[in-house]
Structures are given as C-alpha cells and as structure tokens.
Amino acid sequence: EAQVTQNPRYLITVTGKKLTVTCSQNMNHEYMSWYRQDPGLGLRQIYYSMNVEVTDKGDVPEGYKVSRKEKRNFPLILESPSPNQTSLYFCASSATGGQPHLAKNIQYFGAGTRLSVL
C-alpha cells in the first residue's frame, strides 16, 4: 500500500530536549516536505526537498533542521524545542519525474504528529 509514515504520532517533550520526527514514503517520490498546522493559520511549509541531498527552506524554517540522505526518508529535527513549536506536523511527498515544477502535483500526506513542548 502506497503511504507516507510518520513517527511518532504523538509526542510530549520538554523545552530543550532534542527530538526527531521520522517520515518515510514507499512510493519512490522525489519531492518531500514538512508542514506544521496551527489553528487559524493553516498549513505552513517548514522545509522541502526536491531530491536526495537537496533541501530548501519553506516559510517557517526557524528552529528546525532536515536531512535527505535517502530518497524514502525525510526526518524533521528539533535541536532545542520550544513551546511555540507545539503543533500538528505533517510530512508529505509527491512525484516529480525529475521536473521541479511537478512538485506541486498530488501531495500524499502522512497521518500527522501531534507535538507538545512543555
């Protein structure tokens, strides 16, 4: 079954304790992206990746890191989480066939990770 898998689904942590949210897709998609969703603000893009070893900032990258060492994985790293990073996080992927302008094509989303930073 084609899917995007995020782990963990729920996480409660404390300020300053480094954490990683994993994202894996089994569709051989080139494009992957991370979003956060907050009430009234909608989904905001954190980082995206056009392919292996190619990442770029979205609209709200501060406080986050990503890496794309393998095509299927795109982990989101919070080196020193703060309470304002409490949010619902979604990972997404799409196929581009090597053409960046197709990154906007159908985005498949993971089930989301609810993060609370105390």
Partner 1 sequence: RKEVEQDPGPFNVPEGATVAFNCTYSNSASQSFFWYRQDCRKEPKLLMSVYSSGNEDGRFTAQLNRASQYISLLIRDSKLSDSATYLCVAGFDSWGKLQFGAGTQVVVTP
What is the spatial distance between Cα 3 and Cα 24, in angstroms, rounded to a whole number? 8
Structure tokens at 66: 């990503």
| 9 touching partner 1, by CB under 8 A | no
| 41 touching partner 1, by CB under 8 A | yes
| 95 touching partner 1, by CB under 8 A | no
Question: Is-contact 96 30, C-beta < 8 A?
Answer: yes
Minimum CB–partner distance for residue 80 and partner 1 (Å): 26
Question: Is-contact 62 78, C-beta < 8 A?
Answer: no
Question: Is-contact 21 89, C-beta < 8 A?
Answer: yes
Q: How many residues interact with partner 1 (rule CB under 8 A)?
A: 27
Q: Using CB under 8 A, which of the segments 11-19, 35-43, 67-75, 79-87 binds partner 1? A: 35-43
Q: Which of 21, 23, 103, 115 binds partner 1 (CB under 8 A)?
A: 103
SS3 call for 35: strand
Question: Is-contact 32 16, C-beta < 8 A?
Answer: no
Residues that bind partner 1 (CB under 8 A): 31, 33, 35, 37, 40-45, 48, 50, 56, 58-59, 88, 90, 100-101, 103-104, 106-107, 109-112
